[in-house]
C-alpha cells in the first residue's frame, strides 16, 4: 500500500511541475504585421555609372508604428533580377550595406529589372517584402537618333536626344568608332534587314554603309562593305542608299540596282532589276521604295528611271509562285479604274508609302516641261499587282517654290505633301489642289522633312514615339552658325485642315546639318 502511495505522490508532484512549467505558455502575443509603402508604380531609373538608384520605402508595424532605419530589431535588404515572365527568379543582392533606404551608384548592367525590398524581424525571423521596378539606362538607350553632316567635307555624324525618365541628355558623335564617311543619306533603326534579337541601326552614306548593333544601349559596328561579312555581301563601290522599313527585304543602290532576299538568311547577291532572271540589268531604278505602311508591307512599287515606268515587286501574293523573284510590270486596270499609264515618261522626284486608305504610296513626278504631278498607288499586303488610287496634276502657280524644293514628306494619314523652299515649309493639299506656307524659320534653311513611321517588326514603342509618327519632324540649319553646330530639330502637330503648324515639345539644337532621324526604343 505504501508503494502505491509513493507512486501517487510522485505522479502528483510531476503534474504540479508540469503545470508550473506550462504557466507561461498562456501569455500569448499576436504576430506583428508589417506594411511597406512608398514604392512607386513606375520604375526607378538611373544613368549607368553616373547616377544613383534611389528608393525610400516606409515600413510600418501594426504595434510599433513606423520603423526607423536604425531599429535594431529589423534587418533591411535589397535584391534584384532581370524582368522576366518566369516565376523562377534567383535574386541577387543589390546593396551589401543592408540599409533601409536605397541610394547606390547604378553599376549593374543597363537594362530593366525587378527588385525586392525585404524587411526581416530578427525576433521572429518573419520576412516581409515588396516588389518594385528598376531601370538602368545609358544616354543612348532610348530617344531620337539624329543623322547629320559636319563641315565642308560633309562628314557623317550621328547624335542623339537621349531620354532618361523625364530628362533629356544630348550626346554627340555616338559612332565616332566607325571609319569616316561622307554625305549622309539615310538611317533606319531596327528594320527587317538582318532581323535579330539585338537591336541595330542601318546607316547609309554616299561612300559607305554600316550595320551598327546596340548592346545594352551601346553601339558596335559591322561594315556592310566588308566582303567577308556573313550578314551582308556588297562591293565597296556599290553602296546601298535606300531601303524600305517593312517586310519586303528590298534595297536600291546608288547605281540604281535593286536587290531582294528570298528569306532572312539569304544574302543580297542577285540583282532583280532585270527582265530575265540572273542576267545583267538593262535599266536602272530611282532610289525610292513604296510599300504598305499600316501593318506588313510585303509587296511594293519601284520606278524604272531608264524607261520611266513603274515596276512592281512581290514578296508574297495569293496563288503566286515566286520562287525566283524579279520585278513585274503592273497589270493595266479596267478602263473605269484607270487614272494614268504605268509608263509615265516622267522623272521621279520623290516617293513614299503612307497609311492612307489601304496603304497608298504617293509619287511626286516631273515631266520634261517642268510640270509636276502626284500619282497614288495602292500596293496592298498580298496583292498580285498594284492598283491605281489617284492622279493629280499640280497646276502652275498653285505650289510656290516647288521647283526649288530639296526636302519632301507625304503625311501618313492626311492628303498632304510637305516641301521646303529655303526657310519656309509649304503644305500642298491634294483635296483643294493648292499649297500654302505653314511654317517660316527666318535665318534658317530647311534640311529635312520627315514623318518617322516606325517599322512593323513586333517591337513595342513609347507612346511619344507612336504619336510622333503623325507629327512633322523639321530639321534646319542656322545661317552663319559654327559648322557642326548649326543643326536644329523641331516637331510639329499637323492640323486636320491645311493651316499653320504648331510646334510640339522642345527645340533641340547643336547638331550638324540634319539629314534624317530615327527613334531608338531600346
What pLDDT was estimated at residue 230?
41
| Residues 256, 303: Cα–Cα separation, whole Å | 10
At 264 the pLDDT is 52
User: Strand pairing partners for 409?
Assistant: 418
Question: Would you state the cell numbers that stand for residue 128, as one nine-digit string?
Answer: 516581409
Cell of 452: 518617322
Residue found under cell 566607325: 178
- What digits encode the pLDDT tens for the residues 330-359? 999 999 999 999 999 999 999 998 888 878
Task: Give the cell for residue 190.
Answer: 531596327
Sign of the alpha-carbon torsion through 189, 190, 193, 198? positive
Distance CA 441, CA 458 (A): 37
C-alpha cell recorded at residue 189: 533603326
Is residue 315 within 8 A of residue 264, CB to CB? The reply is no
pLDDT tens digits, one per residue of 51-88: 899 999 999 998 899 999 999 999 999 999 875 544 55
**HEC-encoded secondary structure of 279-308:** CCCCCCECCCCEECCCCCCCCEEEEECCCC
Which segments of the chain belong to CATH 2.60.40.10?
34-137
pLDDT of residue 197: 53
The alpha carbon of 102 is separated from its chain's Cα centroid by a whole number of angstroms, namely 32
Residue 247 CA to residue 455 CA, distance in Å, equals 9
What kind of fold does domain 34-137 have according to CATH?
Immunoglobulin-like (2.60.40)
Residues 305 and 255 sit within 8 Å (Cβ to Cβ): no
Rounded-to-integer distance, Cα 157 and Cα 145, Å: 10
Contacting residues for 106 by C-beta, under 8 A, at least 6 apart: 46, 47, 48, 49, 50, 51, 52, 53, 136
Residues 6+ apart with CB under 8 A from 501: 425, 438, 439, 472, 492, 493, 494, 495
The whole-number pLDDT of residue 16 equals 37
Q: What's the pTM?
A: 0.73
Q: What is the DSSP letter of 285?
A: B
Q: What is the mean pLDDT of each run of 10 residues along the chain (522 residues)?
A: 40 40 50 90 84 93 92 95 60 90 89 92 93 85 89 93 77 84 85 54 81 72 51 47 64 83 57 81 91 68 96 66 69 93 97 86 96 92 84 95 96 95 96 96 96 71 83 96 94 91 94 93 74
Indicate the burial class of 424 (C-beta count within 10 angstroms; 0-12, 13-18, 19 or more). middle
Amino acid at each position: 500500500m505504501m508503494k502505491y502511495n509513493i507512486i501517487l505522490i510522485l505522479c502528483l508532484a510531476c503534474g504540479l511541475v508540469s503545470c508550473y512549467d506550462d504557466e507561461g505558455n498562456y501569455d500569448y502575443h499576436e504576430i506583428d504585421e508589417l506594411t511597406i509603402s512608398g514604392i512607386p508604380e513606375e520604375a526607378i531609373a538611373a544613368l549607368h555609372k553616373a547616377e544613383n538608384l534611389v528608393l525610400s520605402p516606409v515600413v510600418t508595424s501594426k504595434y510599433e508604428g513606423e520603423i526607423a532605419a536604425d531599429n535594431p530589431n529589423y534587418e533591411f535588404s535589397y535584391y534584384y533580377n532581370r524582368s522576366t515572365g518566369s516565376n523562377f527568379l534567383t535574386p541577387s543582392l543589390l546593396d551589401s550595406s543592408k540599409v533601409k533606404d536605397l541610394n547606390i551608384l547604378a553599376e549593374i548592367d543597363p537594362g530593366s529589372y525587378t527588385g525586392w525590398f525585404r524587411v526581416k524581424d530578427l525576433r521572429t525571423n518573419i520576412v516581409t517584402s515588396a516588389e518594385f521596378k528598376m531601370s538602368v539606362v545609358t544616354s543612348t538607350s532610348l530617344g531620337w537618333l539624329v543623322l547629320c553632316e559636319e563641315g565642308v567635307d560633309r562628314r557623317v555624324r550621328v547624335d542623339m536626344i537621349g531620354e532618361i525618365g523625364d530628362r533629356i541628355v544630348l550626346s554627340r558623335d555616338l559612332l565616332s568608332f566607325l571609319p569616316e564617311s561622307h554625305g549622309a543619306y539615310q538611317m533606319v533603326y531596327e528594320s527587317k534587314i538582318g532581323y535579330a534579337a539585338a537591336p541595330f541601326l542601318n546607316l547609309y552614306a554616299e561612300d559607305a554603309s554600316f550595320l551598327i548593333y546596340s548592346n545594352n544601349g551601346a553601339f558596335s559596328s559591322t561594315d556592310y562593305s566588308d566582303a567577308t561579312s556573313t550578314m551582308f555581301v556588297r562591293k565597296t563601290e556599290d553602296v546601298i542608299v535606300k531601303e524600305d522599313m517593312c517586310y519586303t527585304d528590298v534595297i536600291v543602290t546608288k547605281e540604281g540596282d535593286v536587290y531582294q532576299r528570298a528569306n532572312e538568311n539569304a544574302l543580297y547577291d542577285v540583282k532583280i532589276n532585270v527582265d530575265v532572271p540572273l542576267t545583267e540589268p538593262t535599266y536602272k531604278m530611282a532610289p525610292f521604295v513604296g510599300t504598305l505602311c499600316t501593318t506588313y508591307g510585303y509587296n511594293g512599287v519601284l520606278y524604272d528611271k531608264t524607261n520611266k515606268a513603274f515596276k512592281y515587286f512581290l514578296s508574297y501574293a495569293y496563288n503566286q509562285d515566286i520562287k525566283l523573284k524579279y520585278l513585274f510590270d503592273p497589270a493595266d486596270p479596267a478602263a473605269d479604274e484607270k487614272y494614268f499609264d504605268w509608263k509615265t515618261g516622267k522623272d521621279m522626284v520623290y516617293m513614299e508609302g503612307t497609311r492612307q486608305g489601304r496603304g497608298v504610296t504617293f509619287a511626286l513626278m516631273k515631266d520634261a516641261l517642268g510640270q509636276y504631278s502626284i500619282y497614288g498607288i495602292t500596293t496592298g499586303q498580298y496583292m498580285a499587282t498594284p492598283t491605281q488610287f489617284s492622279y493629280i496634276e499640280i497646276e502652275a502657280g498653285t505650289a510656290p517654290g516647288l521647283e526649288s524644293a530639296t526636302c519632301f514628306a507625304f503625311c501618313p494619314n492626311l492628303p498632304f505633301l510637305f516641301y521646303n523652299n529655303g526657310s519656309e515649309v509649304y503644305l500642298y493639299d491634294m483635296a483643294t489642289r493648292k499649297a500654302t506656307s505653314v511654317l517660316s524659320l527666318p535665318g534658317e534653311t530647311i534640311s529635312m522633312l520627315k514623318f518617322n513611321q516606325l517599322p512593323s517588326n513586333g517591337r513595342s514603342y513609347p507612346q511619344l514615339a507612336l504619336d510622333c509618327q503623325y507629327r512633322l519632324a523639321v530639321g534646319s540649319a542656322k545661317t552663319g552658325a559654327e559648322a557642326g553646330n548649326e543643326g536644329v530639330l523641331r516637331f510639329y502637330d499637323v492640323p486636320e485642315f491645311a493651316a499653320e503648324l504648331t510646334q510640339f515639345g522642345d527645340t533641340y539644337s547643336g547638331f550638324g546639318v540634319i539629314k534624317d532621324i530615327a527613334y531608338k526604343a531600346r
